[in-house]
Structure 1
Amino acid sequence: MITPVSTPRDAELFVRLPALLGGEAAGWSVPLFADTRRVFSPRFNTALAEWRVPRWLAWRDGRPVGRIAAARPVAGGALGHFGFLALEQDPATLRALLGAAGGWLAAQGATRLRGPLSFSINHEAGAQVAGFGGLPMPRMPRNPAWLPPMLEAAGLDPEMDLLACTLELAGETHRARFAPLLRRWPGRGDLRIRRLDPKRLGAEVALIRDIFNDAWAENWGATPVSAAEAETMARLLRPLLLRGTVLFAEWRGEPVGLLSLIPNVEQAAARLDGRLLPLGWAAMLRALLGGATSARVPMLGIRRRWRGTPVSAMALGALLAEGIGFAEHRCWRRLEISWILDHNHAMRQAMARLGAPETGRWRLWGAALPQPGA
């Protein structure tokens, strides 16, 4: 039986379902319950005003055995998303959940379904298809290996793979190779790398949004970050900036690119089964204040008009060199650059030169939606 999430009890079961299904031991990532509640809180996540996000639970013998959410912008469009997927290993339950989400999206006017996506591609994206058992990273979902084949058996077609590449700092050679190139470059005096200023967080987040919306605009599946999303981003960034940062590349005073680094607090969160109490908060605080041994680079990009120029190449190299130095200062042992579109050959070549091989792969699927009355 599939029912909409319509009561506070339903909403809490939706939040806790990955843990109820066995959590990490069963292959599911279990975000902190408090974080998932905030995602669906209009007071915290102001971007909810721009999306319609109904949720459903699957039941068997009086207990919840699956969950799914649909997401569609208030502005409409042909594409609808499904996400927050978690369930027991049962094809019938998956088909019923997809049917609930797809039926609602079709009734709203969507003609195609894509997912898993938690709202949009700017958030948690894909189901893991390779790299199982690797180091967990923030906002990189984990799922059992049986889920991808079950999605395809349910009639979804693979659309795109998203890659994670990992640099082990102990063997890093980028800075030694890049330094002489930078010294010989005539424009080196006009290139500056600076860190985000936490005292100007609002303005800095607006700059991140501006660069992101330009640098990622032509990517497959790109969705611009709205002002409301940027406001939520600022709230999420504050605790991570205790140890992480955002680096901006400026050419003659113009911001041309960025790189962000966030400490891997997921190493601690993955052991908490979603709970901050009684002692989970202490583990998270230790991770935020210096207990993490790795980090994720979720954003690395250059504005489009500089692509293919020496400024772009040198800015990218300088961002990576500064980021590696920052990571070394923090005593992080590895950096995961994630995610990268499978067909982004330029970035994959950059990762090969960096010495950061592919260590994980996530996939998005899609399907045409039957139209009402068809």
Structure 2
Amino acid sequence: MVSTDGQLAISIEAVSGKKGRARFVDVGRAFAARVENSVPQLRSEQLELVNPDKNPFFGHAKAQLFIAMRAGQPVGRISAHIDELALQMPPDQGFGPGTGMFGYFDAEDEETAKALLDTAQNWLCEQGMSRCVGPISMSIWEEPGLLVKGQDHAPVIMMGHHPAHYQGWIEGAGYERIKTLYTYDLDITYEFPPIVQRIVKSGMRNERITVRRVRKKDWDAEAATILAILNDAWSDNWGFVPLTPEEVAHTGVKLKPVIHEDLNMIAELDGKPVAFMLTFPDVNQALAKSGGKLFPTGWWHLLKWARKPLHCDMRVPLMGVLKEHQNSRLASQLAFMMISEISDYARSKYRSKRAEIGWILEDNQGMVAIADTIQSQVNREYAIYERPLS
């Protein structure tokens, strides 16, 4: 068959099972390999994210994966998914009743993009949804948003990377941007401004405050503490969906290999944990050498990097302060204290020169103010879109 513009017609296949998921992942990997500055991720990790038996996200969500075909060749992919916990959130926080999502979006051309989006929307309509939000691949805690600024440099650990033309295709399909997520680039070779140094010194003199390293030997308990603070601290944020106990346990296990004690901090007030900051060395710099494969030599690059990740960039993916202390001087003071201490270690021990902070919601005034005060600059923007379903 031939479409109206003379191209061979597109067919959309719903895929499932081990072989279907593997095809879906491999289509995405082939597209990523063609995007400038993209970094190949571990295939095993990508397979786990879409496997209902291994990703606890599916304990409260369901999804359908689709692959677009033309002339017997894959020309795109998309997921359509429904998070039952997101449906229970207040609508003014981004999701709420009737909200389905799309993610893992790749397309050869605009015709394919439209066919994939239409297919995902139709599936969501069949499931009773009235609104589609995306791209979110697949949990809000994984890779939310479409990269619309920052394609000129490689992504850091756990950040999505998409070609610029996807923006026009999604917007051309009737989607409107509802939220922008920022990441900030921070040069840590310079001292922080005097005002930050004064705030940090004041906090160090406060006997009620303790900023300490995480204890990797007690990592299960430490991870539970951190994620409990996260669930509380982010609970009023746009896009928030609570992490379940199963996800907390799973996340703790997944994070442990990239945890270095001196790069991750918990702040205590009167001996009670009230804030945290996580910092990960950028494993993408090792993955770029391994090609996203453990064999035959990828394991060696990753093992060498894991033992001593020198001269690598850093990423601060998560931080939080308990709600009872937010919108106070203490919240910003704790943040500056943790940022300052982690930066010192990153610079002196790991010989790092830069860090990336984020993502940060565009209207998170507190975090945007902190990022501005330490003189970091926006280096990437991710857009999240919505459209009604008829």
TM-score w.r.t. the length of structure 1 is 0.92
Matched residue count: 368
Which of 326, 337, 346 aligns to 1:307? It is 326
Q: Distance in 2 between the 1:9 and 1:28 partners?
A: 25
Post-superposition Cα deviations, 1:217-257, rounded to whole Å, max 9, x if no partner, equal 11111111111211220121121125774311111112111
Match of 2:309 in 1: 291
Which amino acid counterpart does residue 359 of structure 2 have in structure 1? W
Report which stretch shifted further, 149-158 or 317-326. 317-326
Q: Distance in 2 between the 1:254 and 1:243 partners?
A: 19
Deviation at 1:7, TM superposition (A): 4.6
Match of 1:18 in 2: 28
TM-score w.r.t. the length of structure 2 is 0.88
Match of 1:193 in 2: 211
Which of 286, 291, 294 aligns to 1:268? It is 286
Q: Distance in 1 between the 2:151 and 2:142 partners?
A: 20
**SS of residue matched to 1:99:** helix
**Residue 295 of structure 2 corresponds to residue 277 of structure 1:** yes
Match of 2:191 in 1: 172
Which amino acid counterpart does residue 352 of structure 1 have in structure 2? D
Deviation at 1:74, TM superposition (A): 4.1
Report which stretch shifted further, 360-369 or 229-238. 229-238
Which of 36, 61, 74 aligns to 2:71? It is 61
Which of 361, 381, 384 aligns to 1:341? It is 361
Give the root-mean-square deviation of aligned CA atoms: 2.1
Deviation at 1:101, TM superposition (A): 1.5
**Residue 170 of structure 2 corresponds to residue 160 of structure 1:** no
Deviation at 1:274, TM superposition (A): 3.1
Q: Distance in 2 between the 1:189 and 1:198 partners?
A: 25
**SS of residue matched to 2:207:** helix
Which amino acid counterpart does residue 79 of structure 1 have in structure 2? T
Deviation at 1:26, TM superposition (A): 5.1
| Native 8 Å contact 1:24 1:270 kept in 2 | no
Change (3 A) 1:34 1:186: closer
Match of 1:125 in 2: 144
Post-superposition Cα deviations, 1:54-79, rounded to whole Å, max 9, x if no partner, equal 11100011011111112212465321
Query: Which runs of 5 or more residues in structure 2 are unaligned?
Result: 1-10, 88-96
Change (3 A) 1:224 1:187: farther
Deviation at 1:24, TM superposition (A): 4.7
| Native 8 Å contact 1:192 1:250 kept in 2 | yes
Which of 245, 250, 257 aligns to 1:239? It is 257
Which of 110, 113, 127 aligns to 1:108? It is 127
Deviation at 1:309, TM superposition (A): 2.3
Match of 2:99 in 1: 79
Post-superposition Cα deviations, 1:159-178, rounded to whole Å, max 9, x if no partner, equal 1111010111112325x654
Match of 2:13 in 1: 3
Deviation at 1:323, TM superposition (A): 1.6
Query: Which runs of 5 or more residues in structure 1 are unaligned?
Result: none
Which amino acid counterpart does residue 24 of structure 2 have in structure 1? F
Which amino acid counterpart does residue 156 of structure 2 have in structure 1? M
Change (3 A) 1:158 1:136: same
| Native 8 Å contact 2:290 2:299 kept in 1 | no
**Residue 353 of structure 2 corresponds to residue 318 of structure 1:** no
| Native 8 Å contact 1:243 1:289 kept in 2 | no
**SS of residue matched to 1:270:** helix
Which amino acid counterpart does residue 4 of structure 1 have in structure 2? A
| Native 8 Å contact 1:51 1:74 kept in 2 | yes
